């Protein structure tokens, strides 16, 4: 049995930025247009008028200030309100592969590795641009990696579930090294026309390289333990899928074909589940709250992270102990905790212990306890 370690990480950040101000302007124009088109029904009391959004509302609800996206023109067009991505031929790399390759190359460079050193690619994301062939295999080919690859989807927990799968295979000796990559085009499944959620998501890709600790060429994080859990819930759901056209009204513009959540129930049910999961994981591994130097949490909502951090540490966490990146990136689904890890881990010292945690639809939660070696 081998000991797995995270030896490199990388982040691909899109060029396009949408600020809260830009988003509010576009949404309010859309709301005005819809209210004008439905003026008679609104006057008759048949439907409610759409309310305006505001920068204050967005920041108070989430802590988000801006987000990166693959396309902003379509999102900010009141007549479109979704990304506009060019049609690609089957002989071209997919957009997720382009994002993933950038993040993977950065992770490999940080670890001092090349494609020849990798045996496995796991593309772990909340959405994949097609059913098959697996995006992971396309990424594998683009990087020139021998071995194998597969896709994984556990919604916002995909990254930590992917790390557990990779770590288990490294531990058993079935692979020497694995890339877990999380290309998240969340702008594609967000309903930008819904005031309650139009500000939540952004796009990004992250990657982590997991290999045997004895093969590490530089600073790395030994994976002490991983733990995953799921519990079925409909409170975060997207009903889009390959059977859509086979069902009555399947191809009409239906609200449930995009991201949907019952925010209050999610907040009430997920927070205790995640806090308990982390605490139980730490207890099982003999890690006390005083031993934990860093929490890299899923980046969905600042209030949620503050609550979890306080429960886990038994006090208000310092900003350095629980770094947030969602103010700049928004919710990037499975990639959020890995962005935080990649950007806020180099300063840890030899022997410092930290915990990566992601959680979301399913419900699902995954945690990874790591120790820094310099």
Residue 363: asked if its preceding bond is cis (omega within 30°), the reply is yes
Q: How many CA atoms lie within 13 A of 133 on its CB side?
A: 13
DSSP string, 52-105: PP-HHHHHHHH---EEEES-STTTT-TTT-S-------TTSPPHHHHHHHHHHH
Structural tokens at position 44:
């008759």
For residue 155 the two structure tokens come to 């919604």
Q: How far is CA 24 from the centre of its chain?
A: 23
C-alpha dihedral sign at 307, 182, 112, 3? positive
Q: How many CB atoms lie within 10 A of CB 341?
A: 26
Which residues are CB-neighbours of 231 under 8 A, at least 6 positions away?
273, 362, 363, 364
Q: Which helix (H) or strand (E) holds 359?
A: strand 353-360
| Number of residues written out for the chain | 374
Q: Write the DSSP symbol of residue 322.
A: S
Catalytic residues, which ones? 156
Q: Which residues pair with 297 in a beta bridge?
A: 357
Using DSSP's 3-state secondary structure scheme, residue 273 falls into helix
CA angle 186, 187, 193 (to 5 degrees): 125
Computed on alpha carbons and rounded to an integer, the radius of gyration of the chain in Å comes to 21
Residues in Cβ contact with 327 at an 8 Å cutoff, skipping those fewer than 6 apart? 63, 64, 65, 66, 302
Would you say 97 and 142 are in contact if contact means Cβ atoms under 8 Å apart? yes
Q: State how far the Cα of 139 lies from the Cα of 155, in Å rounded to an integer.
A: 20
Strands 353-360 and 292-297, bridge-based pairing: parallel
């Amino acid at each position: 049995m081998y000991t797995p370690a995270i030896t490199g990480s990388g982040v691909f950040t899109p060029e396009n930025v949408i600020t809260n101000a830009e988003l509010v302007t576009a949404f309010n124009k859309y709301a005005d247009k819809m209210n004008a088109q439905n003026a008679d029904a609104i006057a008759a009391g048949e439907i409610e008028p759409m309310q305006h959004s505001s920068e204050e509302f967005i920041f108070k609800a989430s802590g988000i200030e801006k987000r990166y996206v693959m396309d902003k023109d379509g999102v900010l067009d009141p007549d479109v309100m979704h990304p506009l991505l060019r049609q690609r031929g089957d002989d071209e790399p997919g957009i997720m592969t382009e994002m993933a390759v950038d993040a993977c190359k950065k992770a490999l460079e940080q670890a001092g590795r090349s494609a020849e050193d990798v045996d496995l690619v796991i593309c772990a994301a909340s959405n994949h641009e097609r059913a098959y062939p697996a995006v992971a295999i396309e990424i594998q080919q683009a990087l020139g990696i021998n071995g194998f690859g597969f896709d994984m989807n556990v919604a916002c927990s995909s990254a930590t579930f992917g790390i557990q799968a990779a770590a288990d295979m490294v531990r058993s000796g079935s692979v020497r090294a694995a890339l877990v990559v999380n290309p998240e085009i969340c702008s594609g499944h967000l309903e930008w026309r819904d005031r309650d959620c139009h500000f939540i998501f952004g796009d990004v890709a992250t990657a982590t390289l997991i290999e045997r600790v004895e093969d590490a060429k530089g600073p790395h994080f030994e994976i002490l333990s991983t733990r995953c859990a799921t519990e079925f819930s409909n409170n975060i759901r997207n009903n889009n899928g390959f059977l859509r056209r086979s069902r009555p009204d399947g191809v009409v513009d239906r609200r449930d074909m995009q991201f949907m959540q019952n925010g209050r129930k999610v907040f009430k049910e997920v927070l205790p589940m995640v806090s308990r999961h982390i605490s139980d994981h730490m207890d099982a591994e003999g890690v006390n709250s005083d031993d934990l130097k860093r929490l890299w949490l899923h980046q969905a909502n600042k209030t949620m992270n503050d609550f979890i951090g306080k429960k886990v540490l038994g006090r208000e966490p310092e900003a350095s102990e629980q770094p947030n990146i969602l103010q700049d990136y928004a919710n990037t689904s499975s990639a959020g905790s890995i962005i935080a890890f990649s950007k806020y881990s180099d300063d840890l010292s030899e022997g410092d212990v930290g915990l990566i945690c992601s959680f979301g639809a399913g419900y699902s939660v995954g945690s990874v306890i790591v120790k820094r070696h310099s």
